[in-house]
Amino acid sequence: MKLYQILFSILIIGNLHAAKLGKMKDLFAKDDFSQWTKVNGEKVDKGWSIENGTTYRHAKGGDIITKEKFKDFELTFEWKISKAGNSGIKYRARGNLGLEYQVLDDQKHRDNKNPTHRAGSLYELVAAPDSKPLRPVGEWNKGRIFVKGNQIEHWLNGEKVVEITWGSEDWKKQFQKSKYKKHKGFGNWEGPILLQDHNDPVWFRNLKIQKL
């Protein structure tokens, strides 16, 4: 391949990558809650605040959800948790019920006894490995959720920590052991993104989503 052809290929790939990045939607683009509501549809008016692009749960205000629904998507975000804190990001949700990317202080919170309840895990269903690259409490972690069709992935600081196929034998086994087993179709719904109020301070920033 000639040099100009190589350079042209690199340019095309770069443009495609830029186009893909351009499709990412910032869920707090206006530094406000205009894209969000409480689970009951009411305005987000207490408990949560935004300052300089960082969303902070500082007092009881309830879970908040996006007005828009998603099923197949890629969500990237950053999070940090308070000492002994617990929170999460739920997706493909109905009400307060949905798949959950767990956000936790693995060292101090009592929920650490269950591996599927630790940070980065698919709550109740798939445990992130103990060797995951989790940063200390008070430091920012980078998260990524990828769901397309039946494929479900969680990423933590650039490393894939959860992977499962909805409806597979492994899924069925884990699902039947979970507290969700009575909810038909759980994990395969279209629904909003939910930020969980679990009575602890938690911070999120750079929540960006792209439908697939």
pLDDT digits (tens, 9 = 90+) for 82-137: 999 999 999 999 999 999 999 999 999 999 999 999 999 999 999 999 999 999 99
9 within some domain: no
Count how many domains the chain has. Answer: 1
Residue 6 pLDDT class (50, 70, 90 cuts): very low
pLDDT of residue 4 exceeding 90, the answer is: no
Tell me the mean pLDDT in the region 69-76. 98
Q: What is the pTM assigned to this prediction?
A: 0.89
- With respect to residue 1, please indicate whether it lies within any of the assigned structural domains: no
Q: Residue range 61-80: average pLDDT?
A: 98
Confidence of residue 181 (pLDDT cuts 50, 70, 90): very high
* Whole-angstrom distance, CA of residue 143 vs CA of residue 109: 20
Q: Considering the domain boundaries, does residue 2 fall inside one?
A: no
3-17, 65-79, 125-139, 183-197, range with the lowest pLDDT:
3-17
CATH number, position 88: 2.60.120.560
pLDDT reported for residue 23: 84
The token pair at 17 is 């990558």
- Name the residue among 88, 150, 95, 149 with its Cα closest to residue 122: 88
Say yes or no to pLDDT of 81 above 50: yes
In a domain, 150, yes or no: yes
Is residue 159, in this structure, part of any structural domain at all?
Answer: yes
Residue 15 lies in a domain: no
Distance CA 83, CA 205 (A): 18
Q: Sign of the C-alpha dihedral, residues 207, 196, 37, 52?
A: negative
- pLDDT digit string, tens, across residues 144-169: 999 999 999 999 999 999 999 999 99
DSSP 136: P
Range of the domain at 45: 26-211
Give pLDDT, residue 3: 52
The residue among 55, 45, 61, 151 whose CA lies nearest residue 103 is: 55
Within a domain: 145: yes
Q: What is the mean pLDDT of residues 72-84?
A: 98
19 found inside a domain = no
- What span, in angstroms and rounded, lies between the C-alpha atoms of 193 and 171? 22
